[in-house]
Amino acid sequence: MKMFEQTEKEFLKEIDVLLKEDKTEQAIKQMNQSVFKDNIEVLKVLGNAYIRIDEYALALQTFQFLASFELDEHGKRWISLNLGVILRETGQLDQAKEVLHKLVKDYPEDASYLCELGNCYFDAKENRLAEEYFLKAIKNIETASCDFNKAQIYSYAAWFFKETERIEIAIKLYKKALSYRPTHKDYLLWLGDCYSEKEKNVLAKKFYLKAKEYYPEDYMIQEYVGNKLEWLDGG
């Protein structure tokens, strides 16, 4: 192999870093231009990346193409999970729940499937069932495939408890999410919001200022934090 040639494993590691840094558009561009663009593992990541930027038609197209390959059980489950996410995000909640219940029936302790079912029931305003599945997901958090997924599960559950006005629980869960992704801008801002709602202004400022410092070129964050700080200071 020539020295400048990159293996698929090395390429996916590079893409993983971009995604962790929230450079999703750049990751998608590199995947689409890569010699590995039609490889199964790259397609799995690409489809999920499209979901992260709300490009559901492109995500569905990618997973449909992926389904034409001879896949192992994990690959089939990956398609089903992401199909559930696409259906939920496009408002097809009954269909999403049907897909996800099939996964949970076969893999009842998988935290990712349980969490996504929680999201479905939360979107459907069935909060009792949503809470049940979020708590099951947290209980089985070690079944999540990576730290990124663990952080996401904690954050989804935290959002549920925040929106149902159980702020102390939400705070604990956002802290858990940040333990895996300590610079994630949304987790920092949402934890700041939680502390603000509890009138713990010093702690709220701490997390708002972290987001402001970590993302100096993000205009939306700078404006959001500026408004929050002004409000906290009585302006």
Any idea where the domains of the chain sit in the sequence? Answer: 8-70, 91-179, 183-235
| Whether residue 145 has pLDDT greater than 50 | yes
Say what the pLDDT of residue 235 is: 55
3-17, 63-77, 198-212: the lowest-pLDDT one: 3-17
Decide if pLDDT at 170 tops 60. Answer: yes
The CATH number that domain 8-70 falls under is 1.25.40
pLDDT-wise least confident of 36-40, 118-122, 230-234:
230-234
**Mean local confidence (pLDDT), 111-132:** 97
pLDDT attached to residue 234: 76
Compute the mean pLDDT over every residue in the chain, rounded to the nearest whole number.
93
The candidate with the shortest Cα–Cα distance to 39, out of 47, 29, 49, is: 47
User: Can you read off the two tokens belonging to residue 196?
Assistant: 């603000």
Tell me: pLDDT of 210 over 80. Answer: yes
Longest CA span, the chain: 63
Per-residue model confidence (pLDDT) at position 1: 42
| Closest residue by Cα to residue 59 from 28, 102, 16, 93 | 28
In this prediction, residues 151-176 reach a mean pLDDT of 97
Q: What pLDDT is recorded for position 2?
A: 46
Residue type, 117: L
Q: Give yes or no for residue 31 having a pLDDT over 80.
A: yes
Task: Please give the average per-residue pLDDT across 131-140, as a whole number.
Answer: 97
* Matching fold, domains 8-70 and 91-179: yes
The verdict on pTM exceeding 0.75 is yes
Q: Rounded to an integer, what distance in angstroms lies between the CA atom of residue 37 and that of residue 57?
A: 18
- Does residue 79 contact residue 69 with C-beta atoms inside 8 Å? no
Express as a percent the part of the chain with pLDDT over 70: 98
Long-range (24+ apart) CB contacts under 8 A made by 70-73 are: 71/40
Write out the CATH class of domain 91-179.
mainly alpha
Q: Residue 147: what pLDDT?
A: 81
Q: Which pair of structure tokens corresponds to residue 156?
A: 């989804």
